[in-house]
Chains A and B, each alone.
Chain A
Amino acid sequence: MSEETSEEYGKPLPLMEGTAGEFYEHCKNHELRFQRCTGCGTWRHVPRNMCAQCGSWEWEWAKSSGRGELLTWTVVTFPMQPSFAEEVPYAVTIIELEEGPRIVSRIVDVEPQDLRMGMPVEVIFDAVTPEVTLPRFKHSGK
């Protein structure tokens, strides 16, 4: 977990503005938080203005347990983004959190060939630059 400047880091980073900026600020504090409607309690990701269930504009950043399971993945072998060239092959995953939202991320401690649908995972935090911390996952109970 290096702490390079964004320039040294060289890989794509989120635009740290609006709700995306807030999402990643929580990650920096080692908290995985998603929007939760304060009207009907529905969790959601990616951030939205309104609750698609009840139409409410009111919401809060609710803390996720960080536990979930692996839904699907791909193993990037040919790096179409040159900045990821030295990492191939690497798996990118879709994780379903126990509260419901799904998130695109990586599982850091499992080799691509050992990934299985439904594998239990929990969040960890990867400070890729001083400004940006990405939520990643590790295999639970390993």
Chain B
Amino acid sequence: MASLKDQICVVGIGETPFRRPKEPDGTNLTIQLQAIEAAIADAGLKNKDIDCILPIEGLAHAEEIAVNLGIDDLRFQATVRIAAAAPGSHIMTAGMAIHAGICNYAVIPVGWYGYSGNIRVRKVMKDNPLVFSGGPTARDYYYPHGINVPPQWFSFMARYHMEKYGTTREQLGAVAVAFRKHAQLNPHALMHDKPLTMEDYLSGRMISDPYNLYDCSLECDGAGALVVTTVERALDLKQKPIYLMGFGQGQPYPADDLSNRADILEMGVTHAAPRAFEMAGITHKDIDFAQIYDAFSFQVIEQIEEMGFCKRGEGGPFVEGGRIELGGELPVNTHGGLMSEGHVMGMNHIIEAVRQLRGDAGDHQVKDAEIGMSTGFGDFMDGSVVILRR
């Protein structure tokens, strides 16, 4: 079967401001519509050109997005039930649908009032476990013991890695500090003008040991959207097209129970990354930057290892010494990531990747960036990986 490599382009990106106000000033739908409008305008298209919508689960329906935009002939819509791995999975799904001739221009929105609205992750996941695939397992076998929210679940893996491989708090801190440095160069970031030293990091309020406040991402109000189409159409549009070289989706096994995996460090990207690299026909050395889903600091180290940038157990030393900072060997989360720019479920990672490859990243530009990647992470570590090039 013909490969989808270099057949699909990202042609439009749009974002709202990322904020943490006391009260919401719109709905999960309106904030996504704002990002969608921006992405369509960025592409130089009209609302009615869009004929495919891939909304993330639970935050808005394709129907209500379509009716607001006046899309009266929606050819295709789909939602992959993979939580915040959806941005990458939805690029993959859009690519397949477009390449098959089912539709022409897909819009992929993500956004929420994740801070001021009544949908903070910490609240939704404990109050309504059925919203995610591992929910019944968590409700019946985790929650009764007082482990009810993501920073608690994913610190299990951090502790395991620290005990087994000697990974240190300072190495987790190197992740937090690197992303915060990048946020100082990005006025869009929630933590712009709020620098963080290692000393600050180490004195952070403990949340679920080994995770303290600075190991955790920033719930925020914000939205982002992409427009995706064929190369042929992309070449006629306003922006320099960014090519989808490779993608992959994957899940750890079993996906709905994080305690009974034969290998407790297994993640979705463990499976997704090799598929994406194979499709792209490149190796790790070809990657100029990686936007890695950073719900929590250790999961960045874990993904770096699982995707093969270093061996199992070497991720701690890998992130030290500025290697993942701008100017380092593998700049990671050049926008500040979920930990310092804002938690928009990784859509901001893909948007930053596109911005970098267009050469539009301003003060946080990776010099001469040609190929970059972005990862997604949802539920109990489901994963998606996209590799893009200019």
Contact = CB atoms under 8 A, between A and B. Distances in A.
Given A14-B140, A112-B209, A81 B126 contact: yes
A92 B209 CA distance: 10
B260 A101 contact: yes
A20 B140 contact: yes
B209 A12 contact: no
A80 B144 contact: no
A72 B163 contact: yes
Interface string B181-222: 000000000000000000000000111111100000000000
Interface in A93-139: 94, 101-106, 112, 116-117, 128, 132, 134
Contacts of B144: 11-14, 128, 132, 134
B58 to A, nearest CB: 20
A103 B259 CA distance: 7
A54 interface: no
B265 to A, nearest CB: 10
Interface of B: 122, 126, 136-137, 139-149, 151-152, 155-157, 159-160, 163-164, 205-211, 254, 257, 259-260, 264
A50 interface: no
Contact of B145 (A20, A79, A106, A116): A106
B260 A12 contact: no
A45 interface: yes
28 contacts: A11-B144, A11-B146, A14-B139, A14-B140, A20-B136, A20-B140, A23-B140, A46-B137, A72-B163, A74-B155, A75-B209, A76-B146, A77-B209, A78-B205, A78-B206, A78-B207, A80-B152, A81-B126, A90-B146, A92-B147, A94-B156, A94-B259, A104-B142, A104-B145, A104-B147, A104-B259, A106-B145, A128-B144
Contact of A73 (B139, B156, B205): B156
Nearest to A12: B143
- Among the interface residues B136, B157, B159, B210, which one has the most CB atoms of the partner chain A within 10 A? B159
Contacts of B142: 92, 104
B213 to A, nearest CB: 8
A90 B137 CA distance: 21
A11 B231 CA distance: 54
Given A72-B157, A72-B159, A92 B206 contact: no
A80 B145 contact: no
Size category of the binding interface on chain A: 35 or more
Contacts of B156: 72-74, 94
Contacts of B155: 74
A89 B147 CA distance: 12
Contacts of A79: 146
A11 B207 CA distance: 19
Contacts of B139: 12, 14-15
A84 interface: yes
Among A15, A75, A84, max chain B CB count under 10 A is at A75
A74 B146 contact: no
A62 interface: no
A77 B259 CA distance: 21
Given A74-B156, A77-B207, A103-B141, 6 more contacts: A14-B143, A72-B160, A78-B207, A81-B126, A89-B209, A134-B144
Contacts of B257: 46
Nearest to A44: B260
Given A72-B159, A104-B147, A134-B144, A77 B208 contact: yes
A84 B146 contact: yes
Nearest to B154: A74
